[in-house]
Structure 1
Amino acid sequence: MTFRTTVDDFLQTLAGGDPDAIAALFAETVDWKIVGSPAVPWIRHCTTRADVAEFFRTMLGGFVAEETAVRIDHLLVDGPHAVVLGEVSQVIRANGRAFTTPFALHLTGEDGLITRYHIYEDSLVVAKAAA
């Protein structure tokens, strides 16, 4: 199994929207980075697989699933590192506000599990939509 397979599994599982299935692809301990506003309910620091499940449960529950659109422009894998570049459009369930942001996701893996999840996006756009 290559890390590319793990990344493909992650992207497919993420699209399926099951937080526990998504978290199962992560190691027990995770190097996690998401920069954002405390006004965004799902922005939090995670260090464990259980934290990851709660993050995705909160985040995915905060969006109107039928209004989600993701475009992946590039997926680059080099050994245990992967970078996913794209754009995501979401609608906030609580207020109906839509936003679109480009994103860069840096993943690292070991033994078929994700050990690093660093995502970079326009956090101001997300915070304004969530406010």
Structure 2
Amino acid sequence: MTTRDTVERFFGLLAGGDPDKVAEIFADDIDWYVPGSESLPWTGRRSRGSEVADYLRTLGSNIVPEKNVDEVEALLVDGDRAVMLGHFTRVAKSTGRTYRMPVAMYFQVAGDKIVKLYLYEDTLKVAQAYAE
């Protein structure tokens, strides 16, 4: 599997909505980072592939999944690294606020497993959507 194949598989599994299936594409040891407010339980670092499913479940319990809009505008690949550029639209379950923002996701792949994923998003916009 190429880096592009692995990252495209990740997005396909993500769209399928099964957190356990998504977690299977990650290596045991990972470098995962989603910056953001400490008040948002899905942000922060993770170092084990087994933590991915819990991340997705936590995020899923805080958004309205059926209102997600993920727009992938470009997937740039260079060797074992890839960058996705696009936009995410989410609805905060606790406040009902909709937020749309540009995003970038940085991946590193080893074999057919993702070993690194960093999500770059408008963390202020996300925090404001959840602020009471």
Q: After TM superposition, which residue ranges in structure 1, 4 or more long, deviate above 4 angstroms?
A: none
Q: CA deviation at 1:44?
A: 2.9
The percent of aligned pairs where both chains have the same amino acid is 39
Whichever residue aligns with residue 68 of structure 2, its letter is T
In 2, Cα distance between equivalents of 1:115 and 1:124 = 27
1:54-69 equivalence runs, <5 A: 54-69=54-69
Q: Within the alignment, does 1:16 sit opposite 2:23 as a pair?
A: no
In 1, Cα distance between equivalents of 2:31 and 2:57 = 19
Relative to the length of structure 2, the TM-score reads 0.94
Look up the match of 1:43. 43
Could you give the per-residue CA deviations for residues 49-92 of structure 1, whole angstroms, max 9, x where no partner exists? 12111111111222111211111111011111000000000001
Whichever residue aligns with residue 13 of structure 2, its letter is T
Structure 2 spans left out of the alignment, 5+ residues: none
Structure 1 spans left out of the alignment, 5+ residues: none
In 2, Cα distance between equivalents of 1:86 and 1:129 = 19
**Matched residue of 1:47: which SS?**
strand
**Matched residue of 2:82: which SS?**
strand
Look up the match of 1:26. 26
**Matched residue of 2:8: which SS?**
helix
Look up the match of 2:78. 78
In 2, Cα distance between equivalents of 1:17 and 1:61 = 13
Q: CA deviation at 1:129?
A: 0.6
In 2, Cα distance between equivalents of 1:119 and 1:99 = 16
Indicate conservation of the 8 Å contact 1:44/1:55, yes or no.
Answer: no
In 2, Cα distance between equivalents of 1:41 and 1:5 = 30
